[in-house]
Structure 1
Amino acid sequence: MSPFLFYLIHLAVLAYALVGGVFLAFSDFIMRALAATSGHGGAEAMQAINREVFRWVFMTLFLGLAALSLALIVHAAVGPSRPGAMLIGMAGLVYLLGCFGVTIVCNVPMNETLARMDLSQDATRAYWTGTYLPRWTFWNTVRTIACGLSAALLLFGLTTLSRAQPA
């Protein structure tokens, strides 16, 4: 493995963990705090959060990891067969399906629905409490687990590769 790829994978472990940490914060306490607000406060705050998420730091990590994950899968599939390569490829696959895919298929559509809703309507509160909070948080927890698992698989893959390298 080239030194560039070796260090890039180290950075990917950190990036998977950082993105997973953002998702963990939402699943662990942010969504509960938003649910505890009175009236439409939580829905309004989430609308604002969903607009701000497009700032460059988070989106660079999130989208960059999707591209890097695809590269890891390809490298594991077509690269030389080495110990740890399968773990590295699996890390990319878990992120692409469990984080990126879940975001596109599950969380983003709910965010878009919430963004179109009028905060003064009772239907918005019903959607917020009955649909958005439980479903969005469930799928966000899936993303959290996927990021943590991707980081762990990548770390174990690197460890396996390092042990297989001659000293």
Structure 2
Amino acid sequence: MTHVIEVTVFASAALVMALVAGVFLAFSDFVMRSLGGAAPGTGIEAMQKINREVYGSVFLVGLLGLAPVSLGLAGYGVMSMSGPAAGWIIVGGLIYFGGTFLVTMLGNVPMNKRLDLMVVSAPETISYWEVYARRWTRWNHLRTAASAIAAACLLIGVVLYA
């Protein structure tokens, strides 16, 4: 029974990581490009609203909930597993934690907080918006790739383990 539980946990974490990657991909692929193509005030106001809404979302539960889960998976791989499956599980957990969670907390969130405090129509906000959109999107590309790669690593690990 333990084996079934382990496989279920690994596969579930991979699925949620893939869903997180999908949300990030939408922003990298077309949401930020659309907001950047709108009038500056419109794009700024929309992004402020998106950033406020995310706090009550299921997405945030998945994004943040996976942080301790990913470290737990990596730790479990080190302490309780062996062979190639362990390596994939460890790497997947560490990639998610560093490339998704830490990048979010240290890169995107501080930028979001700064933007949230700004007055939409102020000249300094419009100037910051150009920097924000470019830099935020670059960090988001990294989060997208990290989430997707972490999900793939877990999936490979679970297939090898199963």
TM score, norm. by length of structure 2: 0.96
SS of the residue 2:21 aligns to:
helix
Q: Which residue of 2 aligns with 1:71?
A: 72
Q: How many Å separate the matches in 2 of 1:157 and 1:39?
A: 45
Q: How many Å separate the matches in 2 of 1:102 and 1:138?
A: 11
Is residue 137 from structure 1 mapped to residue 147 from structure 2 by the alignment? no
Q: Which residue of 2 aligns with 1:165?
A: none
Unaligned runs of 5+ in 2: none
Q: How many Å separate the matches in 2 of 1:29 and 1:59?
A: 20
Q: Which residue of 2 aligns with 1:156?
A: 156
Unaligned runs of 5+ in 1: 163-167
Aligned pairs for 1:1-167 (under 5 A) are: 2-129=3-130, 131-162=131-162
Moved over 3 A (4+): none
Q: How many Å separate the matches in 1 of 2:52 and 2:78?
A: 37
More helix by share: 2
Deviation digits for residues 19-48 of structure 1 (CA, Å, limit 9, x no counterpart): 000000000000000011114110100000
Q: How many Å separate the matches in 1 of 2:133 and 2:64?
A: 25
TM score, norm. by length of structure 1: 0.93
CA-CA distance at 1:82 after TM superposition: 3.3
The one-letter code of the counterpart of 2:155 is: L
Q: How many Å separate the matches in 1 of 2:155 and 2:4?
A: 16
Contact 2:7 2:161 in 1 (8 A): no
Alpha-carbon RMSD: 1.1
**Percent sequence identity over aligned pairs:** 45
CA-CA distance at 1:8 after TM superposition: 1.3
The one-letter code of the counterpart of 2:95 is: V
Q: 1:157 to 1:137 in 2, by over 3 A?
A: same
The one-letter code of the counterpart of 2:145 is: I
